[in-house]
Structure 1
């Protein structure tokens, strides 16, 4: 590929988007072969590895913000993207350039050509590109989010991280990760490496036991963050003041710029992880910079206000929906509410919809279908809503029509609109707004 060609980036994206999410072998096996042929760039970087079912992207964002504010050149690798594929790979909060992406892509594509067409999956390309760019840009530290699971995930090709983090674990991708939360916890905690400290959310006993056992077997220090460690002082609907009290913080007060209650837990996990990095000598931190950093972080698509009284949130499983519901009341302040909802077919949508209806937080429901391989028919979604509620349910075939209808209704009733159920939905709506 001619890197100077202005169409190189577009050609790269077109090819990557043609690839399957799943090909032969595990993600970890494929990534190990890929990275070895790229010179193992990950081994020349300080890597923080983050897994979990809900909140791991937010934890990555808060921790990357803390490191950046303390003067460290920080690489951030997350998924999925909402609008631009380069959202997945950032340095100091900025997407890498199209030129950087295209140049690294050419090297990954050369490896695939060597291994044989179809030897790499969609996610593998982004991981290889990320590590190549991070190394070339000489970043001080990288925060890497797993794609799916942990033990077999492509990111687990990283063998010597400086810290492992495990966010909230819940039932998800049961056909791949296992049909019980304990099996999923085993997969997620598969990122734990020998003598590498691990920081995790300590809530469900069966999950905690598995993480702590894996940590013990790998001679790791394990630091659990519990619900008792943090307390909300005031939720203003657009920002939250909270206190954190654990082995590192003594009722220290922080402010985050969001009305999402669940981000208090994610921020607390990131704050604790930062202190473990400090304790182990990986970084030096300044208290004022840490406070400033978490207040500045805004993670797109997570209870984000995108227009007047319109919010998008990427809740995509039952636990995510429960967390969203807890954040609605402080934002609405008694006003009428509309929920624009869509979901992909491999999620427990019946349970998600039942929780939404049982909460009695919403007055109107607008349903949209999502296109693509994982689409779930909009009529199936609307029928499920009608099974659990007598409130108005408006069915639209596509997201654009659904959003325009919901936004018009919001104006008519002077209410608040929430859009949720899938990050794909959030990305589509943000593209419409843009």
Structure 2
């Protein structure tokens, strides 16, 4: 088997479960001698902010000199990014080796199980657990794929559980109310395992509190158990202070813009502190400071060019776009902002468009891209009349031409933001790297 054949096997699997339970992934892992029981991990769920929080945590642990494994999704450039060590994707050979072990087991399960064998994500999750069982690291940061309760990653007992945010996304699968969605996210909370959360709506917070009470898990809540005070300075850095009942640190800096990134960084700090405290280890302020300032997460308000400034951002649902609009209003109120926007058809795209189109200095161009596999890009030309915009909204079907048209209209002092989908900005990013 070569690398391409290994990827074809993975991507050729069905994407969604026919079984609303974890039985298949547990059976697959059992046949692999339960590698999930051999890792020392932290589990991270949330509507948005999972990846950034994981990146902050990874860099804090790395600043301490630890070897850190990560499991993330989706990937931006190459599949290998999903399983990484100290931020470096595993090799093509390691992907092939993992698939070579798992493929024959999956083939047997296809024949044995009435509803069919493991899905693509179940296989990738098993690959991750198997990799870190065979190549031990000091700690593994595991990002939930979707939801939590029935997510394929929800098969190990972490040292800390993290829920970053809860908002409206994937409602067909997770539920139509914040309470229902929160109940799915709360599925990662384990008995007597600390749970750290980010800023949650009150309806979602009540659900998390109840589950933590049932599970006898200590819950750590922003503005109750840990505190942030941020600086309003406008630059390509965010500065803030952090405190809880154990430490207080002033003048922390991150290179990722947005109040939501300050929130993610604070969530990561609190998680790190709870992990260290539970392991009876001391907390080094210098390590936290160094880890934060060195954190970079591709596709999260990532600057690709100066003069004019070109930025990509993976905001792909309404909660993320709301946070993005706050960032634009705070940091770029004196610039003309050109936004090239493409969104998957299963998202709340009209809400997302109107949120951005209502900013006074935003000029919006809607476009389309080739969505991943069976997920289509929204046909946004049909909704132009429904958009409530400050400036005329244009539709250009080919995204490369949409970007060129925007650049031709801009001055060097303007901002070009390309956003709407992680899959879309993955295509865009390839033009610059």
> Which residue of structure 2 aligns with residue 51 of structure 1?
45
- Contact 2:360–2:390 at 8 Å: present in 1 too? no
> Which residue of structure 2 aligns with residue 180 of structure 1?
177
Counterpart secondary structure, 2:96: helix
- Contact 1:230–1:243 at 8 Å: present in 2 too? yes
- Contact 2:299–2:425 at 8 Å: present in 1 too? yes
> Which residue of structure 2 aligns with residue 226 of structure 1?
223
Counterpart secondary structure, 2:154: helix
> Which residue of structure 2 aligns with residue 420 of structure 1?
419
Separation of aligned partners in 1, 2:380 and 2:18: 35
Separation of aligned partners in 2, 1:305 and 1:102: 34
- Contact 1:29–1:157 at 8 Å: present in 2 too? no
Instruction: Report the CA distance between 1:202 and its aligned residue.
Output: 4.3
Separation of aligned partners in 1, 2:44 and 2:390: 41
Instruction: Report the CA distance between 1:37 and its aligned residue.
Output: 1.0
Matches within 5 A, 1:69-88: 69-88=63-82
> Which residue of structure 2 aligns with residue 4 of structure 1?
none
Matches within 5 A, 1:121-160: 121-158=119-156, 160=157
- CA-to-partner distance for each residue in 1:214-234, whole Å, 9 max, x for gaps? 011011111112398212114
Instruction: Report the CA distance between 1:270 and its aligned residue.
Output: 0.4
After TM superposition, where is structure 1 displaced by more than 4 Å over at least 4 residues in a row?
Answer: none
- Contact 2:72–2:143 at 8 Å: present in 1 too? yes
- Contact 2:357–2:364 at 8 Å: present in 1 too? no
CA RMSD of aligned residues (A): 2.0
- CA-to-partner distance for each residue in 1:263-304, whole Å, 9 max, x for gaps? 000000000000000110175542211110010001111111
List alignment gaps of at least 5 residues for structure 2.
none
Counterpart secondary structure, 1:87: helix
Separation of aligned partners in 2, 1:238 and 1:231: 18
> Which residue of structure 2 aligns with residue 352 of structure 1?
352
Separation of aligned partners in 1, 2:59 and 2:122: 25
- Contact 1:313–1:420 at 8 Å: present in 2 too? yes
> Which residue of structure 1 aligns with residue 379 of structure 2?
378
Question: CA 1:282/1:171 → structure 2, altered by over 3 Å: closer, same or farther?
Answer: farther
Separation of aligned partners in 2, 1:355 and 1:242: 27
Counterpart secondary structure, 1:219: coil
Counterpart secondary structure, 1:161: coil
Separation of aligned partners in 2, 1:43 and 1:393: 53
> Which residue of structure 2 aligns with residue 34 of structure 1?
28
Q: Does 1:296 align with 2:281?
A: no
Counterpart secondary structure, 2:430: helix
Separation of aligned partners in 2, 1:135 and 1:123: 18
Moved more, 30-39 or 190-199: 30-39
Q: TM-score, normalised by structure 2?
A: 0.93
> Which residue of structure 2 aligns with residue 12 of structure 1?
6
Matches within 5 A, 1:185-334: 185-226=182-223, 229-281=227-279, 284-308=282-306, 309-332=309-332, 334=334
- CA-to-partner distance for each residue in 1:82-112, whole Å, 9 max, x for gaps? 1111111110111111111110121121221
- Contact 2:249–2:285 at 8 Å: present in 1 too? no
Instruction: Report the CA distance between 1:413 and its aligned residue.
Output: 6.5
Separation of aligned partners in 1, 2:100 and 2:20: 23
Moved more, 302-311 or 15-24: 15-24
Normalized per residue, the structure richer in helix is 1
- Contact 2:15–2:121 at 8 Å: present in 1 too? yes
Separation of aligned partners in 2, 1:33 and 1:398: 45
List alignment gaps of at least 5 residues for structure 1.
2-7
> Which residue of structure 2 aligns with residue 168 of structure 1?
165
- Contact 1:403–1:429 at 8 Å: present in 2 too? no
Separation of aligned partners in 1, 2:311 and 2:250: 29
